[in-house]
Amino acid sequence: IVNVIVGLVIFLHDKERSWITVGLLILVVGAYVFRLISAHNNTLDYIRFSAFFVFYIIITLEVVKQVWKAKTVDKSVIFGLMSGYICLGLLAFFAFVSIEMTSPNSFKGLPLDATFPQKASHLLYYSYVTLMTIGYGDITPTTGTAQKASILFAMIGQFYLVIITAVVIEKYIRHQKSK
């Protein structure tokens, strides 16, 4: 819920796109409330999951854009830099969960008899291990789609650290020299 509120705050200054974020929030909350008052419905879970996935795509792009366009580096840019990396991990998580939902057993090392929340917890861990290119080997992709997604997010994580962080450091150094 905190992430959703932060996402809304990011878009409040942009009236053109704020309605998209509010619409996604209404969709997620509506699906959640409907799930509480009715029998379990997989379709609602997929709708809620998809809305969160789209929400985090939008938020991640906006955070990276704001960090990239910042003229000077202050606390908000540093927090934005960290938030962007955390959001990338969440995007990887949603991608990996999507792969596992559409093609079960795409990842070796997930508990076979686990419930969906337990598998999701393991995939959240895997998404950050992949993004940081740690690669412990306890969870490995077994299908072509899972392997390609893992490579993609490992590369995105490295590009983010190298390119976005370098841009922020360069802006900080330039600002310090101009003082």
**Which of 4-13, 32-41, 127-136 has the least mean pLDDT?**
4-13
* H helices present in the chain, as ranges: 2-12, 15-37, 42-69, 75-102, 116-131, 144-159, 165-178
Backbone angles phi, psi at 40, to 5 degrees: -60, 135
Residue 109: pLDDT band with limits 50, 70, 90: very high
Residues 6+ away with beta carbon under 8 Å from 66:
10, 80
pLDDT of residue 105: 93
DSSP 92-142: HHHHHHHHHHHSTT-EETS-TT--HHHHHHHHHHHHHHHHTT---SSSEE-
Domain boundaries along the sequence of the chain? 1-68, 70-179
pLDDT surpassing 80 at residue 162: yes
Task: For residue 35, give Cα distances in angstroms to 32, 101, 118.
Answer: 5, 19, 19
N residues, the chain: 179
At 90 the pLDDT is 93
Note the pLDDT of residue 78.
87
Question: Worst-scoring range by mean pLDDT, 13-17, 24-28, 93-97?
Answer: 13-17
pLDDT at 16 over 90: no
Percent of the chain whose predicted confidence (pLDDT) is above 70: 88
Q: Which CATH architecture has domain 70-179?
A: Orthogonal Bundle (1.10)
Which tops the pLDDT comparison, 36 or 89?
89
Residues 137, 159: Cα–Cα separation, whole Å: 22
Question: Once rounded to an integer, what is the mean pLDDT over residues 83-88?
Answer: 91
Q: What is the pLDDT of residues 116-128, one digit of tens each?
A: 889 999 999 999 9
Q: Which residues pair with 134 in a beta bridge?
A: none
> Which pLDDT does position 11 carry in this prediction?
58
